[in-house]
Amino acid sequence: MATQSLFEAVAQCLAVCEPSAKVRCTHDIAEQFRNGQLSLVGARPPAPDTPGRPGRPRLVPPRQLPKRGLKDAEGRAALVHAVAHIEFNAINLALDAVLRFPDMPPDFAADWLRVADEEAYHFRLMRERLGALGHDYGDFPAHDGLWQMARQTAADPLRRMALVPRVLEARGLDVTPGMIERLRAVGDDDTADRLAIILREEVGHVAIGSRWFRWLCAERGLAPRDTYLGLIREHFRGAVRCPLNLPDRRRAGFDQAELDGLMAMCSGRLEG
């Protein structure tokens, strides 16, 4: 029988700073919720402005991150570190969605706990590979773009679903196949195989964002395509980085009208 509030448990996990401990508590919460040990009623602590995270890596503006090639181990380690940082932030983002929007239907919490669980696994995959390359999480600088967008969308689950999973995380669907190809070209099949696992599961994460974005649009009587493209214009000045991974975006819940609108933004033709 459930004895503790899910939201209380998520708040405690969000506050954890040490990466391995955050991974463990995320896996534990997901399992406990599946087993009916955590309740959707009870205490609802407020979501924090900043989640628990370690003192390293040093956070810098994206433009200050050095460009590195993949032909040497140091360059590959920097790439792996960048992905690990994204996955660590994704754990916090998924947990934050559960805690910040407690009035969403119960399936919303279940979906984002599943995402958090898988993001924790992805972080482990990348941190293990980073260790094999002679480094650890925190050894390279990183940026805070994902969490900055979390702050900008903190007041509205529709904006959160549109702009985090369906813009920032969907960008990973576009760039990861090329990363895998380049890594295989330099003989780093281990990293490439791990990224292939992440890519496959991230399609499902973006699809969850699509599901709840469309649910919220329907609840509010909004047209999904126009709402989505309008939010991109508002927050990103209509700038879309291309090419798009159309097959995976379709699997992740983008319809053709949305893809046509995004491709028009790629070419600078901002359609209404």
Judge contact between 119 and 87, C-beta under 8 A. yes
Distance CA 158, CA 9 (A): 24
133-172: per-residue pLDDT in tens?
A: 999 999 999 988 888 899 999 999 999 999 999 999 999 9
Other C-beta atoms within 10 Å of 211: how many? Answer: 17
Query: Residue 240 in 3-state DSSP?
Result: coil
pLDDT band at 69 (very low <50, low <70, confident <90, very high): confident
* Average pLDDT of the chain to the nearest whole number: 93
Task: State both tokens at 119.
Answer: 């993001």
Domains, the chain, with CATH or none: 4-40+68-266 (1.20.1260)
Where b means 16+ CB within 10 Å and e means fewer, 45-80 reads bebeeebbbeeebeeeeeeeeeeeebeeeebbbbbb
Given a contact cutoff of 8 angstroms between Cβ atoms, the answer to whether 258 and 228 are in contact is yes
Q: Write out pLDDT tens, residues 208-258.
A: 999 999 999 999 999 999 999 999 999 988 778 899 999 999 999 999 999
pTM, rounded to two decimals:
0.94
Q: How confident is the model at residue 122 (pLDDT cuts 50, 70, 90)?
A: very high
Predicted confidence at residue 271, as pLDDT, reads 40
Angle CA(195)–CA(129)–CA(64) in degrees, nearest 5?
80
